[in-house]
Amino acid sequence: MRVAVSLSLCWLWAAGLSLPRLRLSYRELLASNRSVLFFGHRGSLGLRCLYLDEYRDRLFLGGKDVLYSLLLDGATAGAKEIYWPPRPGQTEECLQKGKDPGTDCANYVRVLHPYNRTHLLACGTGAFHPMCTFVYVGHRGEHTFSLDAASVESGRGRCPHEPSRAFASTVIGGELYAGLTADFLGRDPGVFRSMGTRSALRTEVDQRLLHDPKFVAAHLIPDNDDRDNDKAYFFFTEKVVEADSREHAIVSRVGRVCVNDAGGQRVLVNKWSTFNKARLVCSVPGPDGIDTYFDELEDVFLLRTKDRKNPEIYALFSTVSHVFRGSAVCVYRMADIREVFNGPFAHRESPHHQWAAYEGRVPYPRPGVCPSKTTNQPRRQYGTTKDFPDEVLHFARAHPLMFQPVLPRHRRPLLVKTDLPQRLRQLVVDRVEAEDGQHDILFLGTDAGSVLKVVVTQKTNSAVTEEVILEELQVFKMPVPITQMEISVKRQMLYVGSSLGVAQVRLHQCESYGTACAECCLARDPYCAWDGTACTHYQPSGKRRQRRQDGRHANPAHQCLDQNLTVDDFESVEEKVLYGAEDNSTFLECVPRSPQASVQWFVQRPPDEQRDEVKTDERIVQTEQGLLFRRLHQHDAGTYYCKTLEHGFTQTVAKTALRVIPSQQLAHSSPRGPGDELPALLCPEPRLVPQAPKSWFKDIMHLVSSPNPRRVEEYCARLWCSSRPQHRKSKLAQAKLVLAGVDVAKKGRTGKAHSERNRVPRHAAAT
Whole-angstrom distance, CA of residue 339 vs CA of residue 374: 18
Binds ligand NAG by CB under 6 A, chosen from 154, 465, 555, 563: 563
Whole-angstrom distance, CA of residue 614 vs CA of residue 636: 10
Which C-beta is closer to ligand NAG: that of 85 or that of 138?
138
Site for ligand NAG in 336-395 (CB under 6 A): none
511 is a site residue for ligand NAG (CB under 6 A):
no
Binds ligand NAG by CB under 6 A, chosen from 224, 321, 708, 730: 708
Cβ neighbours of 739 (radius 10 Å): 22
Which C-beta is closer to ligand NAG: that of 170 or that of 283?
170
268 is a site residue for ligand NAG (CB under 6 A):
no
- Note the Cα 302 to chain centre separation in Å: 16
Which C-beta is closer to ligand NAG: that of 492 or that of 564?
564
SS3 assignment, position 92? helix
Least distance to ligand NAG, CB of residue 569, Å? 10
Whole-angstrom distance, CA of residue 126 vs CA of residue 107: 4
Amino acid identity of 308?
A: R
> What is the DSSP pairing of strand 611-613 with strand 248-258?
unpaired
Least distance to ligand NAG, CB of residue 33, Å? 4
Contact stretch for ligand NAG (CB under 6 A) within 165-173, 429-437, 540-548, 707-715: 707-715
Per-residue interface string for the shown chain with ligand NAG, residues 35-74, x marking contact by CB under 6 A: ----------------------------------------
Per-residue DSSP letter, 660 = E
581 is a site residue for ligand NAG (CB under 6 A):
yes
Binds ligand NAG by CB under 6 A, chosen from 574, 583, 699, 756: 583
663 is a site residue for ligand NAG (CB under 6 A):
yes
669 is a site residue for ligand NAG (CB under 6 A):
no
Whole-angstrom distance, CA of residue 443 vs CA of residue 489: 13
Least distance to ligand NAG, CB of residue 34, Å? 9
Site for ligand NAG in 603-632 (CB under 6 A): none
Whole-angstrom distance, CA of residue 190 vs CA of residue 157: 8
Which C-beta is closer to ligand NAG: that of 357 or that of 561?
561
Least distance to ligand NAG, CB of residue 149, Å? 13
33 is a site residue for ligand NAG (CB under 6 A):
yes
Site for ligand NAG in 82-121 (CB under 6 A): 115-119
Beta bridge pairs of residue 276:
256
Which C-beta is closer to ligand NAG: that of 171 or that of 393?
171
Site for ligand NAG in 174-213 (CB under 6 A): none
555, exposed or middle or buried, with CB in 10 Å at 0-12, 13-18, 19+? middle
List, in order, residues 6 or more apart from 150 with CB less than 8 Å away: none
First CA to last CA distance, the chain: 35
584 is a site residue for ligand NAG (CB under 6 A):
yes
Binds ligand NAG by CB under 6 A, chosen from 349, 562, 618, 677: 562
List, in order, residues 6 or more apart from 388 with CB less than 8 Å away: 264, 273, 365, 371, 382
Query: Which of 547, 472, 537, 538 lies closest to 517 in space, CA to CA?
Result: 547
579 is a site residue for ligand NAG (CB under 6 A):
no
Angle at 485 between CA 484 and CA 486, to 5 degrees: 130
Whole-angstrom distance, CA of residue 484 vs CA of residue 60: 12
Given phi > 0 = left and psi -120 to 50 = alpha, else beta, which region is 532? left
Least distance to ligand NAG, CB of residue 272, Å? 24
Alpha helices, DSSP H only, in 349-454?
A: 390-398
Which C-beta is closer to ligand NAG: that of 568 or that of 685?
568
How many residues bind to ligand NAG according to rule CB under 6 A?
20
Site residues for ligand NAG per CB under 6 A = 32-33, 115-119, 134, 562-564, 581, 583-584, 663, 666, 706-708, 711
